[in-house]
Amino acid sequence: MSLYWRIFLLNAGVLVLAVALLFGPVTVSTPVLFGEAVVLLAGLAAMLVLNAVLLKIGLAPFARLNRAMATADLLKPGTRPAVTGDGEIAALTRTFNAMLDRLEAERATSSGRVLTALEGERQRIARELHDEVGQTLTAVLLQLKYAADRAPEPLRTDLHQAQETTRSSLDEIRRIARRLRPGVLEELGLHSALRSLAAEFTTPRLSVTAHITPGPPHLDRSTELVLYRVAQEGLTNAARHSGATRVEVHLRPLPHGGTELLVSDDGRGLADAPEGAGIQGMRERALLIGAELAVGAGPHGGTQVRLDVPDPDKATP
């Protein structure tokens, strides 16, 4: 039972008892006149209604604070319940807001450390795949070629097939290494990296186009990495889960300053599916650079991922 109904029922019990006493030994006349009964019952009803209204108004800040607590999400910062008055409820609301500020700051710091460690681990795995596994498969290819050139005809066909399988595995290893460590981002910048990403996800069943508008402000390395990873995750979700046939990636400056990344597809959309680890990872990355991430239905159906990055020259210190 809520606090509102507990207080209301206690007050109602007291009022009912008072009226019962008036009908009993403490009364104006004996027996009770009809007019007096009507007045007493009407007064009781009026007092109950007034009591309910006053309690509803008085406890409304508690209800707002309860809704804010129930809907608080550290991955969607900025929403705070309003502080009204100077009483105990206002003090409790201010304490709750301060707690949210502290939790969001701690979450951003810990997420930054985790993502930094994750990027370092990605680079280590990519180097090992490229240097160790890649070189081993290359040596296997050379050995297969040497053996196929000297093998009799029936065996040569099988060796050539093994060569193609090994070559496909080597290409897949290199593709995975590129996704783990976007070397083109470090060497050629964000624009070329997004175009390369679009070409990588393009298949006979999925068309991916990148639209890069000239003029975005200069972005630091961490911001470019966040933009690249969000675009990569958006394309991965579109390719694996949406059933889309067309995906567009837009990178353009915002009218009020800053940069916008937009990944939209023509797939089946999110419907009522809960957010998975991929979307939560995008939200954590967005928090690191103070960006706003929105994932939902596109204007023409499908799914749209939008990341708005503030202008670094206008960002508050």
Give dist(CA 39, CA 44) in Å, integer.
9
Instruction: Provide the angle, in degrees to the nearest 10, between the axes of the packed helices 221-237 and 277-288.
Output: 160
What is the CB-side half-sphere exposure of residue 261 using CA atoms within 13 A?
Answer: 27
CA distances from 284 to 41, 105, 279 (A): 60, 12, 9
* 258 close to 313: Cβ distance less than 8 angstroms: no
* pTM score over 0.75: no
CA distances from 285 to 84, 149, 233, 234, 241 (A): 34, 52, 11, 13, 21
112: CB partners within 8 A, 6+ apart: 288
- Which positions of the chain have pLDDT values less than 70? 1-4, 21-30, 32, 75-78, 85-87, 215-217, 271-274, 312-317
Question: Which pLDDT does position 317 carry in this prediction?
Answer: 42
81: CB partners within 8 A, 6+ apart: 64, 65, 67, 68, 93, 96, 97
First CA to last CA across the chain, in angstroms? 46
Closest CA to 67 of 81, 53, 78: 81
Question: Which pLDDT does position 316 carry in this prediction?
Answer: 47
Full set of structural domains in the chain with CATH: 3-103 (no CATH), 184-317 (3.30.565.10)
Give dist(CA 30, CA 190) in Å, integer.
92
Closest CA to 234 of 272, 213, 261: 261
